[in-house]
Each structure stands twice: as structure tokens, then as C-alpha cells.
Amino acid sequence: MLDHIMQTAAFNATKQFESLEKVSQNVANMNTYGFKNVRFDQYLDASNQLNGTQREDYAQGSVQVTGRPLDVAIEGPGFLPVTQPDGTTAYTRDGSLALNADGYIVSNRGDIVGNGIKIPDNYQEVLIDKTGDVKVKTTAKSDPFKVGHIDLVRFNNPEGLQSIGYNKLLMSDDSGQPIVDTDSKIKQGNLERSNVNVFYQVDNILRLNASVISNFRIVKFSDDLYRQAVNLRQ
């Protein structure tokens, strides 16, 4: 009985450490643009054992003005599709874009945005309107002309998207197919900050700390009883 209690307590403590890992991930990424808060929700599974699952919170982050013409923030549930070097499509909310050597708009990881939007070499100014139309002015006074369009997509269940690091996500069976999103707005010259709420993180740390300590107290307590039970002859 005692060894069972000790094992479960130690196992639960490791699960709490896993939760703490997510909290530190959130705090570390508090200033990462487009980062979404992750949680580790714990539950008792069918065999009455503590288990947990990682969940992302896709609520809108606050939008910060940067003034850089290739910074775009997404207002709404949309994602920015990017084509990775191997040809697969990934999705991101991080809109700090740039131009690569060939003149294409790329993400900050160097992935081409959409199917490739080429900006002419002689451009003076890039304009991205809220619907995603990318226009270019060649001289300060000339009329802007359209060179491409950023198609935003959304998912029925964004929580089901698979994270592959670098703030990028892949479609999965759980997320559903990408749907063209015309409701979300693009804001040029802005970036979306992370939606991490530091107060919730502190609250989480305090609760997890209490949980870890109480689990280890149980291990210690059980160990004391164990020793006494073994040394019955003294």
C-alpha cells in the first residue's frame, strides 16, 4: 500500500513539473509576437491515473504599432499560410515579414508567404490593406498597383493544429481543413503581441508549487511509516 502511494505521489509530482514547464514556456515567450498561451490541463484517466494534455489558447493578442511596412497583425481568427522550403504549407500568426533576395515576401523564418508575392525591384512603398491586397508604389506620387494577395485561412478547431516550433503550425486531422477567412483583418505596420497573461501564470506557479510540495510531503511521510513498519522489532 505504502509503496503504491509513494509511486503515485512521485508520478503526480512529475506531471506537475510538466505543467510548470508550460508555464515557463509562456513566461519565456511573453514578448514573442503572435505567440499563443499554452496550458497543460490535467485530468484523471480511465485507470484513475493523473494524465494531462497540452492546450493552446487562440484568443486574440493585443496589437502593437511598430510602423514597419512589412509588419502585419491579424485581427480575428485567421492564420497566415507560409510555404516552407520543402513545399509544405505551415500556418503562423507571427506577421513580422521581410523581403528575400529574390524580392518575395517571406516570414521571419524565411518561408514564402502564401504562394509567393513578388515585389518589383524598383518599389518605393509597399501597401497591404486590411483585406490582404498587396500593392506597390514605384514613385512617391504614382498610383499603387496590386502585385498579390495574402489569403488568410482559419480552422474549425485551431487547438488541433500541430505545433512544429518557430511559431509555426501544421494542419492535422483534429484541426480540420483550412477555410478561407475573409472576416479577419490585416493591419499593416502592427504586430500581434502574445496573449500570455502574466497574472494567470503567477497564479498557476503558486498552485503548482503547492501541489508539488504536497506530493513530496506524501513521499516523505509514507517513507517514515514504511521505516517504522519494517522496524517492528525495536
Partner 1 sequence: MVLRGYVNATGDGLEISVQGMMTQLGIYDIHAQNLMHFGLPGYQRKDPVVTSFVEYLGPNGVDKAVSTEIGRIRQSGNPLDCALNTKGYFQLMNADGTVELTRDGRMKMDKDGFLRSVDNRPFLSASGVPVQFSVIPTELEKQVKITANGDVTLYNLKTGKIDYTERLGIVSETGSVADKVDVKQGFVEDSNVMLQNEYTAIMPLRRQFEANRQLFIIQNDTLSRMIQELGRAQ
Q: Catalog residues that contact partner 1 under the rule CB under 8 A.
A: 1-2, 5, 8-9, 12, 16, 41-45, 50-51, 53, 55, 57, 59-60, 76-77, 154-157, 159-160, 174-176, 181, 183, 197, 200, 203, 207-208, 210-211, 214-215, 217-218, 221-222, 224-225, 228-229, 232-234
Residue 66 carries which DSSP code?
-
The beta strands (E) that lie in the chain are given as: 38-44, 50-56, 63-65, 72-75, 80-83, 89-92, 98-99, 105-106, 112-113, 125-128, 133-137, 145-149, 153-154, 162-163, 169-170, 179-180, 185-188, 190-192
Buried b (16+ CB within 10 A) or exposed e, 61-71: beeeebeeebb
DSSP 159: G
Query: With 0-12 CB in 10 A as exposed, 13-18 as middle and 19+ as buried, what is 200?
Result: middle
Helix (H, G, I), strand (E, B) or coil at 78: coil
Find the shortest distance in angstroms from Cβ 156 to partner 1. 4
Q: CB–CB of 97/113 below 8 Å?
A: yes
Q: How far is the CB of 99 from partner 1 (least distance, A)?
A: 31
User: Cell 492546450 sits at which residue?
Assistant: 55
Q: Which is nearer to partner 1, 12 or 96 (CB)?
A: 12
Closer residue to partner 1 (CB): 21 or 203? 203
User: Which residue lies nearer to partner 1 by CB, 127 or 213?
Assistant: 213
Least distance CB 129 / partner 1 (angstroms):
21
Handedness of CA 137, 143, 146, 150 (dihedral sign): positive
Nearest to partner 1 of 66, 89 (CB atom): 89
Which CB sits closer to partner 1, 1 or 140? 1
Give the residue with the Cβ less far from partner 1, 77 or 148: 77
Task: Report the residue number, 163 or 214, with the smaller CB distance to partner 1.
Answer: 214
CB proximity list for 12: less than 8 A, separation 6 or greater = 50, 211, 215
